[in-house]
Amino acid sequence: MTPPTRSPVFRLTLRQRETISGYLTILPWFVGFLVFTAGPMMASLYYSLTDWGLVDQPKFIGLMNYQKMLSDPLVWQSLWVTVKFTITSVPARLILALIVALLLVRPIKGTNLMRTIYFIPSVVGGVPVALLWMWMLNADYGIVNYFLKLLGINGPGWIADPKWALWSLVLMSCWNIGSPMVILVAGLQNIAPHLYEAAELDGANGWDKFRFVTIPMLSPTLFFLLVSSVIGAFQVFDAAYVMTSGGPLRATYFYLLYFYQTGFRYLNMGYASALVWLLFVLIIIMTALIFRSSSLWVFYESEVKK
């Protein structure tokens, strides 16, 4: 009798099993990206071409929402407020974070505790911080004006004054330097000590070492922080919404605040979707310009070795 024939068993090679395991590992992220990121983005792109009141059926109108933005004064006003906040808060925040990082990178007692204290504001959410600063910047009983009064200075109205409202938000953003400070400390610790030793042998003083060693070697870290800070500054919303609601006299009327009111207060979600896509394009352009300029001021250690 001949033995019964067996069907061939499908066997996977080690490389095939590793490939399947890899795809299964990234599958949850990929599904989440499609459902929560790519899908909503494509939906918002479609809605930007429609007249949609959020509670009715979208009506396709083509590029009319984008044409409307060109003549909408609130678009340009909110963009200008956002740009002013970005070009003032981002450099001030990075410079302050760099100064603190230079002080806390030194091997002295209590450095780890001070790093923790400076990082704590980054852990607290945006709304609690905004409420705290509303109290601190109150023109009548705020602690900031109290200390200014002790110095013989009459404090301004801060968030109640159109001339000072935006600067109040810039000041609040400079207070939250924990995240860039930690990243800069890591970047400073990554600079090779022999570079400073070589500079000292060449007769460099402290300023020369900072200018010709620290800043060039830290430029990749500064580049990353600049890109992320600009993107974050263009998306400011919670502080202005809680503290000023865009006032007084629209002095803090940020672009995302205009989007929120357009979409969820006035139920014009089609136009609001177009506003978001304009912001997306502007952020892409700003990021591309920063990347384009990086060849002029960003230096990598591999390039230095060459």
Confidence check: pLDDT of 93 > 90: yes
Q: State residue 153 phi and psi, 5-degree precision.
A: -115, 130
Cβ proximity of 49 and 63 under 8 Å: yes
Whether pTM > 0.75 for this model: the answer is yes
| CA atoms 258, 262, 263, 268: torsion sign | negative
Q: Report the C-alpha gap between 42 and 33 in whole angstroms.
A: 12
Q: Is residue 265 part of a domain?
A: yes
**Strand partners of residue 60:** 50
> Residues 158, 164, 170, 171: what is their CA dihedral angle, to the nearest 10 degrees?
-40
Question: What number of CA atoms fall less than 13 Å from residue 300's CA on the CB side?
Answer: 7
Residue 43 sits in the same domain as residue 76: no
Residue 168 sits in the same domain as residue 41: no
Q: Is residue 10 part of a domain?
A: no
Residue 107 sits in the same domain as residue 22: no
Q: Report the C-alpha gap between 284 and 46 in whole angstroms.
A: 20
Q: Is residue 61 part of a domain?
A: no
Residue 38 sits in the same domain as residue 168: no
296 Cβ neighbours under 8 A, 6+ residues apart: none
CATH code for the domain in which residue 109 is found: 1.10.3720.10
| Domain that residue 265 falls in | 72-305
pLDDT score at 110: 80
Residue 77 sits in the same domain as residue 38: no
Segment 240-271, tens digit of pLDDT: 999 999 989 999 999 999 999 999 999 999 99
Q: How many domains does the chain have?
A: 2
Residue 105 sits in the same domain as residue 143: yes
Segment 162-214, tens digit of pLDDT: 999 999 999 999 888 989 999 999 999 999 899 999 999 888 898 999 999 99
CA angle 102, 108, 110 (to 5 degrees): 100
Residue 173 sits in the same domain as residue 38: no
Q: Is residue 234 part of a domain?
A: yes
Residue 78 sits in the same domain as residue 30: no
Q: Catalogue the long-range contacts made by 226-230 (C-beta closer than 8 Å, 24 or more residues apart).
A: 226/90, 226/94, 226/290, 227/287, 227/290, 227/291, 229/90, 229/93, 229/94, 229/180, 230/86, 230/90, 230/283, 230/286, 230/287, 230/290
Residue 37 sits in the same domain as residue 163: no
Q: Is residue 3 part of a domain?
A: no
pLDDT score at 221: 95
Residue 88 sits in the same domain as residue 20: no
Residue 25 sits in the same domain as residue 169: no
Q: Is residue 6 part of a domain?
A: no
Q: Catalogue the long-range contacts made by 73-79 (C-beta closer than 8 Å, 24 or more residues apart).
A: 74/253, 74/258, 75/255, 75/258, 75/275, 75/278, 77/250, 77/253, 78/250, 78/253, 78/254, 78/255, 78/257, 78/258, 79/255, 79/282
pLDDT score at 64: 96
Cβ proximity of 176 and 121 under 8 Å: yes
To the nearest 10 degrees (0 to 180), the angle between helices 165-175 and 73-104 is 30
Q: Is residue 4 part of a domain?
A: no
Residue 159 sits in the same domain as residue 34: no
What is the pLDDT confidence band of residue 290, given thresholds at 50, 70 and 90?
Answer: very high
Nearest to 241 by CA among 74, 94, 127: 127
pLDDT score at 275: 96
Q: Is residue 183 part of a domain?
A: yes
Q: Report the C-alpha gap between 164 and 102 in whole angstroms.
A: 30
